[in-house]
Structure formats: C-alpha cells, structure tokens
C-alpha cells in the first residue's frame, strides 16, 4: 500500500507539473489576446522603431530617427482614408500626481494625445468627457485619468470630475475618468493620465521626443488597404527614396500579443519536457513496484493457477493493477494541475481555464505509462509455473 501510494503521488506530481504549468500558460495567452484585442483588430500604429523581445542584438529592429510633431500632423491632415487618426507621445513614465494631501508614487505615465486617442486606444469613459478640439489646439490644462489612478487620488469617494490635480509642476482640471481595463502583464492605461498633446509639448518638451500615430479603420476589412496607403503616404513625408527601406515601423495592435505568445512557447516546451521526465521516473518506479509485487505474490499466483486461472487472466490482473495505479495518479495530478494553473492565472489577472486538450493528453499519457510499466511484470507473472509458485514460501 505504501509503495502504491508513493507511486500514485509521483505520477500525480508529473501530471500536475504538466497540466498546471500549461493551464497557467493557456490562461496567460487568453488574457494577452483579450487585453490587446480591446484595442481593436482594426488598429495599427506608426512608430520610429519596431517591437522586439529578447533575441540577439543583431536581430533587433532599427531605432530610426524620431517622428517629429510636424511629420505626424502632416500625416493626420493628408490621410484621407475612412479611419480615425490620433497622435500621441509619452511625456513621462515616472510622474507624481497630487490631489490635496494625497500623493502617488512616482510611477504614473503621462501621455500627450489628441481627442481621437480614446477611440484608437480602445478606451471607454467611465465619468466625464473627452477633450474638445479647441482644448487640444490651445493646450488647455485639462486631464483624463485612469480608473486606478482615480481610486488612488480620491480615497474619500469624491467625484473626480472638475477636481484640480497637480501633475509635475502644473495644475490640471480633471474632465474625465477612464474605465478600468485591468493590468494584465503590466500593459494598461489604468494608472496613466492623458493631457492634450500641445500642453505636453509646451510643459514636458525634450529634444528626443518622438510621436506615435495610431490609426483605427472604421471597417475592419479595410485594414490592409489602410496600412498600404499609410505606408506610402508616410514614406513620402519622411522622404524615403524608391527601393530604400522605410525608416519607421507600422505595427498592428495584436503584434505585441503575438510576440509575447511566441516567446511563451519555449516555456511550454520546457514544461512539457519536465512533465515527461517526471512521468518517465514514475514509470520506472511503477515497474519496480509491480516486479516486487510479482515476487511477493508468487504463492497467490500459484494458487490461482492451480484452481484454473489461465496465463491470460494472470497477465490481465497485473496489467489492470498497473493501469489503475497510473490513472489514479493521473486524475489526482489533473485536479491539482487545474487548481494550481488557475491560481497562477488569478494572480496574473487571467481567466479560469479548463485545458481539455491537456486533460485528455494526461489521461492518455497515464494509460501509456501504465501499459509500458505493467506489461513486463504481467508477462513474468503469467509465465510462473504453478507448482514452483505454490512451494515458493
């Protein structure tokens, strides 16, 4: 019984590692795709550099010269496609925001943007309103803040709209609060504040400031046409010669999610290898237990054969025992794996996932391990001579 329980636990640990890690990974993938899809499948951005995670320095995208405000404005005015176009730039990632005596940590992102940024960024207003075109043109001291930032500043449940807050050295009137998107993987506007882009150019200016152009087509089917047209227009604005590589990057809204998911596949491979190695160890342990069991139960096998049991019956008995031990370990491991995987998912802000593919795979793996581990001991037991077996003890 002790050996059997230990073997069940070894098998359960292997399946738990496999199912648990892969459940967490599937949940993270789902969360990533969900978060980035909120920006819309019909959104793309124009930046001076592409995205890259990991890899060799030789494979990193070029960091082209910055996109100036004049270039971005010219693109916005000349891009006549049926789409929303927005210009934005990050003023700071480490700003401190104050309201009366309440002060945030210096980790607030300050974004300068126009009135279309809420549309192209996939944001929704929870309270208040968006910027007006005149506020953007004249650089009014108004701000739209994220939901998390609102809760941090207004702890006494005050209405944030029309309150005056301090961002850096300046004072701004809050005109809107964004609905919370969640903070999965750290990509969120919940802890940011948005200011009119002309205000940022005036009060947060720096020599290397580069601007991002976001485009959201009104018809998702027009996405590729919009990308082609914007590429041609911006190449002309940036004075790229014919045959010369573009000195900017165009990226779809789901590119980042795809890149992150692509990197996660290596974790999936590592988790699968770890689980399979553990199962291999469990298979060796199970075979050892079954061989010991055959030796310990030699007299029982002799009695059964003496009263009419055939070699097939004896073989089936030991094979069934091995498979049952494996399946018990597998079911325990699957339950623990789903619980641990979804616990990690809860911590990272993902959704609850039942990985049916890995559950079925785990059951099949346990069946294979049971067959592989039990076949030799079962054949050995079935070939015992009944007379020799009866006088074994």
What is the tens place of the pLDDT at every residue in 292-350? Answer: 888 877 888 888 888 888 888 888 888 888 888 888 988 998 898 888 888 877 776 66
pLDDT above 70: percentage of residues in the chain: 86
Q: What is the pLDDT of residues 116-163, one digit of tens each?
A: 998 888 888 999 999 999 999 999 999 999 988 999 999 888 899 999
pLDDT at 255: 59
- Select the more confidently predicted residue: 183 or 225: 225
Task: In whole angstroms, give the CA distance from residue 244 to residue 64.
Answer: 13
Indicate the range of 75-89, 189-203, 206-220, 373-387 predicted with least confidence: 373-387
Strands 97-99, 125-128: pairing is unpaired
Q: How far apart are CA 52 and CA 342, in angstroms?
A: 29
What pTM did the predictor assign?
0.58
14 contacts 366 by C-beta, under 8 angstroms: no
According to DSSP, residue 45 is labeled E
d(CA 71, CA 235): 11
pLDDT value of residue 35: 59
Q: Where are the alpha helices (DSSP H) in 297-355?
A: 298-306, 311-347
Average pLDDT score over residue span 160-185: 84
Q: For the CA atoms of 283, 284, 286, 288, what is the dihedral angle to 10 degrees?
A: 160
Instruction: In whole angstroms, give the CA distance from residue 366 to residue 322.
Output: 10
Q: Give the pLDDT confidence score for residue 207 in this predicted structure.
A: 83
Structure tokens at 176: 């809107």
> pLDDT per residue over 24-45, tens digit each?
777 777 666 665 555 555 788 9
Beta carbons of 371 and 323 less than 8 angstroms apart: yes
* Burial call 72-89: b when 16+ CB within 10 Å, e when fewer: beebeeebebebbbbbbb
Going by C-alpha positions, the residue among 203, 206, 201, 191 that lies closest to residue 94 is 191
How far apart, in whole angstroms, are the C-alpha atoms of residue 343 and residue 20? 9
Q: What would the mean pLDDT of 104-120 be, rounded to a whole number?
A: 91
Q: What pLDDT is stored for residue 141 in this prediction? A: 94
The answer, yes or no, to whether residue 51 has pLDDT greater than 60, is no
Q: What is the DSSP string of 59-84?
A: GSPPBPPPPPHHHHHHHHHH--SSEE
Proportion of the chain in helix, strand, coil states, percent, rounded to 5: 55, 15, 30
Q: pLDDT value at position 78? A: 93
What confidence category does residue 188 fall into, taking pLDDT thresholds of 50, 70 and 90? low
The pLDDT-based confidence of 76 (bands split at 50, 70, 90) is very high
The residue among 374 and 237 whose pLDDT is bigger is 237
Contact between 221 and 112 under an 8 Å Cβ cutoff? The reply is no
155 secondary structure, DSSP code: T
**Percent with pLDDT over 90 in the chain:** 27
- The encoded tokens of residue 211 equal 């601007």
DSSP for residue 184: G
pLDDT number for residue 186: 43
């Amino acid at each position: 019984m002790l050996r059997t329980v230990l073997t069940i636990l070894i098998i359960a640990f292997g399946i738990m590692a496999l199912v648990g890690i892969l459940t967490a990974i599937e949940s993270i993938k789902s969360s990533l795709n969900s978060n980035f899809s909120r920006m819309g499948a019909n959104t793309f951005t124009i930046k001076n550099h592409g995205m890259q995670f990991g890899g060799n320095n030789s494979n990193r995208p070029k960091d082209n010269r910055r996109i100036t405000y004049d270039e971005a404005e010219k693109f916005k005015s000349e891009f006549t496609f049926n789409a929303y176009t927005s210009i934005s730039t990050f003023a700071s990632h480490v700003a401190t925001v104050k309201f009366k005596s309440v002060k945030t940590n210096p980790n607030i992102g300050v974004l300068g943007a126009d009135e279309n940024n809420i549309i192209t960024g996939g944001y929704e207003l929870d309270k208040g309103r968006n910027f007006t075109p005149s506020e953007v043109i004249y650089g009014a001291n108004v701000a739209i803040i994220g939901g998390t930032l609102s809760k941090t500043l207004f702890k006494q449940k005050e209405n944030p709209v029309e309150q005056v807050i301090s961002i850096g050295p300046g004072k701004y009137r809050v005109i809107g609060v964004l609905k919370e998107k969640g903070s999965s993987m750290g990509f969120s506007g919940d802890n940011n504040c948005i200011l009119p882009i002309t205000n940022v150019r005036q009060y947060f200016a720096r020599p290397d400031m580069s601007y991002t152009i976001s485009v959201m087509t009104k018809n998702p089917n027009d996405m590729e046409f919009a990308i082609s047209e914007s590429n041609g227009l911006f190449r002309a604005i940036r004075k790229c010669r014919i045959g010369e590589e573009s000195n900017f990057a165009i990226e779809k809204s789901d590119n980042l999610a795809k890149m992150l998911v692509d990197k996660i596949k290596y974790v999936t491979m590592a988790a699968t290898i770890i689980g399979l190695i553990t199962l291999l160890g469990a298979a060796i342990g199970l075979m050892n237990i079954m061989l010991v069991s055959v030796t310990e139960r030699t007299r029982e096998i002799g009695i059964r054969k003496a009263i009419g049991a055939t070699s097939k019956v004896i073989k089936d008995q030991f094979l069934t025992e091995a498979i049952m031990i494996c399946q018990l370990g597998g079911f325990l491991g699957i339950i623990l794996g789903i619980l641990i995987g979804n616990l990690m998912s809860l911590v990272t802000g993902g959704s609850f996932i039942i990985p049916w593919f890995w559950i079925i795979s785990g059951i099949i793996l346990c069946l294979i391990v049971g067959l592989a581990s039990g076949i030799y001991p079962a054949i050995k037991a079935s070939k015992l001579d009944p007379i020799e077996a009866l006088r074994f003890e």
